[in-house]
Structure 1
Amino acid sequence: MTVSSVYPALSIAKIAFDPQTQATLYAAGGNSIVKSTDGGSTWRTLRAGLPDDVGVSSIAIDPKTPTTLYIGLSSFRPARIRGIFKSGDGGETWRRAGLTEAAVVALAIDPQVSATLYAGTDGDSVFKSTDGGDTWRPSREGLSIENVYALAIDPQKPMTLYAGFAGAWGVHGAPGGRGVFKSIDGGVTWRALDPDPANSVVSALIIDPHSPATLYMGTEITGIFKSTDGGASWRAVNSGLPGLDIVPRAIDPQTPNVVYGLAAGVFKSTDGGGTWRAINMGLGTLRMTGFVVDPKTPSTLYVGSHGSGLFKSTDGGMRWRAIGTDLKIWYYVTFALDPQTPTTVYASGLSSEDNCGGGVPMFKSTDGGENWRALHVGGGGCMALSLVIDPKSPTTLYMVISGKGIFKSTDGAMTWRETNVGLVRDEKSQAGSQIYVRGLKIDPNTPTTLYAFQSGGVFKSTDGGDTWRLHGDLSNLKAFSLAIDPQTTTTIYAGTSGSGVFKSTDGGESWRPLNMGLTDLVVWGVAIDPKTPTTIYASTVGGVFVLDQR
């Protein structure tokens, strides 16, 4: 079997699965994110909300809510945009999620508390967020190196994590800042794992999910090292490798002695790294940059290459075939999957017209992504900011369009109508016609009740979005965020710009400030502990604050 190159300009850095729906994968490359819902046979681009000039260096999927994705943007050429973008709808729309000045090259999510995540950067060390990326704070006490190119979290004890460091100018820069650091307190403090056995740039770290004290470290010029005691000691495991410029990428989730590494091709070990062999039939000697193992069917593998596209194997790497021949991506690619195996999938994007007047494009699949058809939303606008589905009547959808407000469909996205009666229009915009809605929340128990937050406060609809009215006395405040108590949905919290947090216990009819101990009143995000909803988190520029109301 032979496979020819299908993308002369396509380079794939990472691949990831949806942990709940194995046929869904995401690929992030260059200035695009791509998604497949049929195991990589076909792909489509997801770019709504992303700037044009981006370079995606990392991706992470929320293990508990796989429709929540994070991508890290670096400053590598040609990209000039940095920081983190987040999607809450399976990649359909994206928004900024902080660290706008940092080149983010590694991301890791706490497997038990998925609102906690870590970002490794090129030049700014490690950052931590405890509110799903709304706010970040440095997590670098004890770290002597600033270029973090690998992060790994212990899946059983997520307060334990490891950071791998690169040289002064990145993975391919000069040596001088190297090694692995370990934290056992969730990144509050770090210590170097000494001695550094590799004496080289650390480019990858992976942990055995069944025995987290076992780690593999990939280096730039000295090969792969293995530790079985949580990094206290290491030994080289390079037997059978043609060279030492190799990166360990994945461990078989069911058979952890099976390990895969990438270099000029794909290499496989079946004895925990003791020996390696090439598995490149159909690949040749392409430079490989991204790899993932199907968590439910580990014999199914995906690999991305530098300049030659995507490949898939269904026999543990014995044979490979090219996939996704309709993709046109410049640089890096990643993958992830749909949460509850929906056969009906919706995709929204960014208008391709220069004047953004043709409406937001909408796509729908009713066979799990095998086939798609374009639907017209109308109303103009450039991009969809969010897409919300009625949890009890999923043919009812709501879409927030930048500058155009809220649109609603009751027939599975076949037709749409504007639902902005009562919302505030921006009088400073052209002809005073723009409606800027920051976000939309739906009552999980009574889905005809929705809350939209704007600069003019919090608006509520009790008729499925047909009409809106301002609730309470927040009209002079800029509402940045909103959270609904999952157990008592008439209890709502609003985060504002400069006035802190407000609480309503009557569905938004009245509000009172809730700022005891809150020293920073610019609140970008509000979150509620789902098991103990009296515990509230407020994210600010000055850090994350916690309020226990018990």
Structure 2
Amino acid sequence: MARLFGATGDGIARLEESGGAWTVEQSLTGTGAQCVAVDPHDPDTVYAGLREGGVRRTRDAGRSWVDCALPEPGVFSLAVSPADGAVYAGTEPSRVFRSDDGGESWRALDALLDLPSRPTWSFPPRPWTSHVRWIAPSPHDAELILVGIELGGLMRSGDGGASWQDHRPGAQPDVHSLAWHPLVDGRAYEAAGGGAAFSTDAGETWQPADDGRDHHYTWSVAVDPDDPDCWYVSASTGPFAAHGGGDPQARIYRRRDDEPWRPLTGGLPEPLPSMPYALLAADGRIFAGLADGQLWETRDRGDRWTALRLEGDTLGRLVALAPA
């Protein structure tokens, strides 16, 4: 039986697969949950990042939650390292915190704030600030971390956050999501406001990957766990279409073996009714969570998609997904 956790922008949803349907059970309703991360070593331990309430943790798969007392309230990104279990939280204003005891205590990785580019960091809707949109600890090296600032750049640390390299050559600066390949050391992927990029040298340098795709405002990224040359992005024509609540002008694309991007349409509604905010590779499938709460899956690398039947609590929105 598969299980996913989703952030809805309001709370956290636990989705359990059983008998051809998925049962939705909501918790933390009304907290403004923006992001979610599951401990890869304990699927019942889940962290929720709240827009104004810091980090909450559950050790019983969402039945009860505790406040982890993060020093900053505005959390936009979370990650649990597959390599050593460290928990990372990214906030607005842009800061990164690390916990080595499951969220009981935190230390700020504030060397990030010493980067020369910091004065230029600015999120266009709130230009006086910026935030850490994504944190990607390497599954192969516990000391290696990628961080995306919206809008500011893609930063890299090779020493667990004690020091940082500024925006990496070839990467897009308006970072929305990042991924590592789980098996192939050194392969990393980016979806950003100006397009997509990938790295073959553990995030030191990046190469653009935009050929064949006419929508360049990319949002979510996922990679086939068995094939580092097969990856996916969701994309729109721009931020107003993607987030404006009208026609998202959105597509899901696949890239394989250095071929141009291909839009995936088999089984998906055309046009898509809302932005695919969350792409996730898990359990031999690719899941797509939409801004209106729809959840789709493909079992054949995107050639054919199926809408999942959701039961239980109403799922009105999905902004992030995590596997359990």
Hey, what's the Cα distance between the residues in 1 that align with 2:81 and 2:293? 33
What residue is the counterpart of 1:68 in the other structure? 45
1:98 to 69, 73, 77: 69
2:252 matched residue in structure 1: 266
Q: Does 1:137 align with 2:104?
A: no
Residues 219-263 of structure 1 show CA distances to partners (whole Å, capped at 9, x for unaligned) of: 11x211122122332221111111211135111111221101112
Give the aligned partner of residue 184 of structure 1: 158
Structure 1 residue aligned with 2:241 = none
Distance of 1:231 and 1:336 partners within structure 2: 23
**Partner Cα separation in structure 1 for residue 33 and residue 255 of structure 2:** 29
Paired residue type of 1:271 = D
| Residues 183 and 101 of structure 1, relative CA distance in 2, 3 Å threshold | closer
Counterpart CA distance in 2 for 1:228 and 1:112 is 19
Counterparts of 1:370-519 in structure 2 under 5 Å?
A: none
* TM-score (normalizing by structure 1): 0.50
The match for 2:239 is none
* Cα shift readout 1:117-148 (whole Å, capped 9, x = no counterpart): 11111214111111101111211214344521
Q: Give unmatched runs, 5+ long, in structure 2.
A: 119-129, 236-249
Relative to 1, partners in 2 of residues 1:196 and 1:319: Cα closer, same or farther, differing over 3 Å? closer
1:209: how far off? Answer: 2.2
Mapping for residues 43-82 of structure 1, pairs under 5 Å: 43-47=23-27, 50=28, 52-74=29-51, 81-82=52-53
Partners of 2:304 and 2:207 lie apart in 1 by: 31
Instruction: Report the Cα offset of residue 67 of structure 1.
Output: 0.7
Contact 1:83 1:103 in 2 (8 A): yes
Give the corresponding residue for 2:197.
Answer: 225
Q: What displacement does 1:280 show?
A: 2.3
Equivalent residue letter for 1:223: G
Quick one: which of 14, 19, 28 aligns to 1:35? 14
For normalisation by structure 2, the TM-score amounts to 0.82
- In the alignment, the residues of structure 2 paired with residue 284 and residue 308 of structure 1 have an alpha-carbon distance, to the nearest angstrom, of 17
Q: Measure how far apart 1:320 and its partner are.
A: 2.0
CA RMSD of aligned residues (A): 2.2
Q: 1:31 to 1:100 in 2, by over 3 A?
A: farther
CA contact (8 A) 2:135 2:146 kept: yes
The answer to whether the 8 A contact 2:14-2:26 is kept is yes
The C-alpha deviation readout for 1:490-540, integer Å capped at 9, x for no partner, is: xxxxxxxxxxxxxxxxxxxxxxxxxxxxxxxxxxxxxxxxxxxxxxxxxxx
Aligned to 1:155: 139
Residue 83 (structure 1) aligned with residue 54 (structure 2): yes
Could you tell me which runs of 5 or more consecutive residues in structure 1 were left unpaired when the two chains were aligned: 1-21, 75-80, 168-177, 339-550
Aligned AA (2:189): Y
Match of 2:90 among 105, 108, 120: 120
Is contact 1:266–1:279 with CA below 8 Å preserved after alignment? yes
1:312 equivalent in structure 2:
297
What is the alpha-carbon distance in structure 2 between the residues aligned to residue 108 and residue 34 of structure 1?
17
1:248 and 1:335 map into 2 onto residues whose CA distance is: 11
Question: Counterpart of 2:48 in 1: which secondary structure?
Answer: strand
Q: 1:27, CA displacement in angstroms?
A: 2.1
SS of 2:98's equivalent?
strand
Residue 112 of structure 1 and its aligned partner are, at CA, apart by 2.8
Q: Which amino acid aligns with 1:109?
A: V
**CA gap 1:100/1:283 in 2 versus in 1, 3 angstroms:** farther
1:109 corresponds in structure 2 to 80
Partners of 2:16 and 2:66 lie apart in 1 by 22
| Residue of structure 2 in register with 1:291 after alignment | 279
Larger radius of gyration: 1
Distance in 2 separating the partners of 1:34 and 1:308: 11
**Counterpart contact for 1:83–1:97, Cα < 8 Å:** yes
Distance verdict in 2 for CA 1:195–1:316, change over 3 Å: closer
Greater strand percent: which structure? Answer: 2
Q: CA separation in 2, counterparts of 1:153 and 1:275?
A: 28
User: Which residue matches 1:206?
Assistant: 179
Instruction: Tell me how far apart the structure 2 counterparts of residues 337 and 195 of structure 1 sit (CA, whole Å).
Output: 31
- C-alpha distance 125-289 of structure 1, shift in aligned 2 (>3 A): same
Aligned to 1:26: 5
Once the two structures are TM-superposed, the CA of residue 71 in structure 1 deviates from its matched residue by 1.0
Choose which of 216, 230, 238 in structure 2 pairs with 1:244. 216
CA contact (8 A) 2:136 2:180 kept: yes
Q: For the residues of structure 2 that align with 1:336 and 1:151, how far apart are their CA atoms?
A: 14
Quote how far apart the aligned CAs of 1:289 are.
0.5
Q: Aligned partners of 2:11, 2:88: CA distance in 1, in Å? A: 23
